[in-house]
Structure 1
Amino acid sequence: MWNVPNLLTLGRFLLIPVYLLVFEAGYTKTAFLVFLVAGCTDVLDGYIARKRKQVTQLGSMLDPLADKLMMIAVILSLVFAGILNWNAALAMFLRDAGMIVGSAVFHFRGKRTVPANGMGKLTTVLFYIAILLVIFQLPYAHVILWLVILLSFLTLIIYIVQFNLLNKRQPKSNMPL
């Protein structure tokens, strides 16, 4: 149950309050580095889980939850600092909250969840880049962020289609916790 990938995911949960404390202290760029470290642990835990065949149902559920909660923390901190507008934050929040609630509901109903695919991973990388641009207030940062938000909704639609196909073909998951 608690293997290296799941421990890295747990570490990502612990980085959320670290990010918030550093950001609140006024160290915006350092807070972004904490956010970036969290993103690197996401890549690392996925790599290790696949390489060592340590993919678990627990990890499949906690990994995206850690990512979404970190993203929500970043979004809200940027909004309250006046760096990000509420419309973009609301769009990002609705998508991420919907994915969290949907995944939890499906998991507890015994439905199989869809693992991250190439589009999801690309969207995550692009969100990190867009957040970087926004934090550093670079030109066209908000335009790029909106393009990534649109891509994230397209990715969500793809996940919904994959989820429906997977659960029509397959019975309840028997992946280890």
Structure 2
Amino acid sequence: MNTANILTLTRILLMPIYLIVFYSNLENKIIYAGMILILAGITDILDGYIARKYDMVTKLGTALDPVSDKITTFVVLISFVSANIIPIWILIVLGLKEAFLIMGGAILYYHGDKEVIPANKFGKIATTSFYIAVIAAILNFPNTIVYTLFYIVVALHLIAFVNYLSIFTSIIKDKNRI
């Protein structure tokens, strides 16, 4: 287990702490939960940077990083919907997108020589936009701004999905030619 993978696991372990704080009776619970998310976001940036810079890229890390991202996304979206911060349709759209990505990833991994599609610029931009929208919501920006940012998040996630779908189909076509 290398440093980058430990950071990814830390991000996963931060999510129950986020939920405990988010649903607590603390006076500024949303701000404190947001601080935990920012810490999770920092681990997200650091794990990839460290893995690439110090040649610590592993199959485990390549598979674990998107799982960690999905856990973070679902935890935040579900908590935000339950607190009426965002409408449920955002959770549904992004949830369906993530479910399809998980299925596609499982197909490639288990039926494609343990192949994993690594994160690319589209996914990273979508993830960054998600954190920006979440921070705006946590900082209690006006609903118009928060909703606009989440609409952008949905659009960017759908663009990333189409990109991953394109990569997935080309890998499947290449495997069927062999």
The answer, yes or no, to whether TM exceeds 0.5 is yes
Spell out, residue by residue over 1:105-155, the C-alpha distance to the aligned partner (whole angstroms, 9 max, x if none): 321112522211112111111111011222333232102211220111011
The structure 1 residue matched to 2:100, chosen from 98, 101, 104, is 98
- Distance (Å, rounded) in 2 between the aligned partners of 1:170 and 1:54: 28
Would you say the 8 A contact 1:5–1:46 is kept in 2? yes
Partner in structure 2 of residue 174 of structure 1: none
2:135 to 132, 138, 159: 132
Q: CA deviation at 1:102?
A: 2.2
Question: One-letter code of the match for 2:76?
Answer: V
Q: Which runs of 5+ in 1 are unaligned?
A: 172-177
Query: 8 Å contact 1:113–1:163 — kept in the other structure?
Result: no
Is the alpha carbon distance of 1:147 and 1:46 closer, same or farther for their aligned partners in structure 2, counting shifts above 3 Å? same
Question: Which segment drifts farther, 113-122 or 14-23?
Answer: 113-122
Gaps of 5+ in 2: none
Aligned length: 170
Equivalent residue, structure 1, for 2:120:
117
Deviation of residue 168 (structure 1)? 4.6
Query: Relative to structure 1, is the Cα distance of residues 79 and 40 closer, same or farther in structure 2, using a 3 angstrom cutoff?
Result: same
Match of 2:84 in 1: 82
Provide the C-alpha distance between the structure 2 equivalents of 1:113 and 1:67, rounded to a whole number of angstroms: 15
Are 2:13 and 1:39 equivalent residues in the alignment? no
Partner letter of residue 22 of structure 1?
A: V
Of residues 42, 66, 84, the one that matches 2:68 is 66
Aligned equivalent of 1:162? 167
CA-to-aligned-CA distance 1:140-173 (integer Å, 9 cap, x gap):
21022112201110111111112333455579xx
User: Is the CA contact (8 Å cut-off) linking 1:83 and 1:135 kept in structure 2?
Assistant: no
Instruction: Identify the structure with bigger relative contact order (alpha carbons < 8 Å, sequence gap 6+).
Output: 1
Question: What percentage of aligned pairs have identical amino acids?
Answer: 37
Quote the Cα distance in structure 2 between the aligned partners of 1:4 and 1:167: 33
Aligned twin of 2:149: 144
Moved more, 103-112 or 125-134: 103-112
Are the aligned partners of 1:19 and 1:35 in contact in 2 as well (CA < 8 Å)?
yes
Aligned to 1:79, the other structure's residue is in SS state helix
Is the partner of 2:116 in helix, strand or coil? coil
Counterpart residue identity of residue 117, structure 1: N
